[in-house]
Amino acid sequence: MKSTRKSEWKELRVAGCSAWVSKRGILGFGVPMGLFFASQAWIQSGFTQALIVFALAAIIGGALFGLGTWYLSEWLYRRDSRKK
């Protein structure tokens, strides 16, 4: 992890995992992905109950993405902190 990235992560981790997951995972990844694919499905086949299920799945997927990136970044930060 480069020193600039390390200092950025040091500041971001103060907010905590839940803030990271909600901002970067759900709002930054899950909602846009859900809206994009739901709009594409709506244009092709109209409104169905599957759109609601897909939107919820995209939000859950965004949370999982946020958790994954949090733990990966935390692992990289701790690994590089132990080296020095």
The pLDDT score that the predictor gives to residue 69 is 97
- As to burial, measured by CB atoms within 10 angstroms (0-12 exposed, 13-18 middle, 19+ buried), residue 6 is middle
Say whether pLDDT at 21 is over 90: yes
The rounded distance, in Å, linking the Cα atoms of 50 and 33 is: 15
Q: Domain boundaries in the chain?
A: 18-83
Q: Summarize pLDDT for 6-16 with one digit per residue, the tens.
A: 889 989 999 99
pTM recorded for the entire structure? 0.83
pLDDT band for position 84 (cuts 50, 70, 90): low
| Per-residue pLDDT at 55 | 84
- What is the tens place of the pLDDT at every residue in 32-72? 998 888 888 888 888 888 888 888 899 999 999 999 999 99
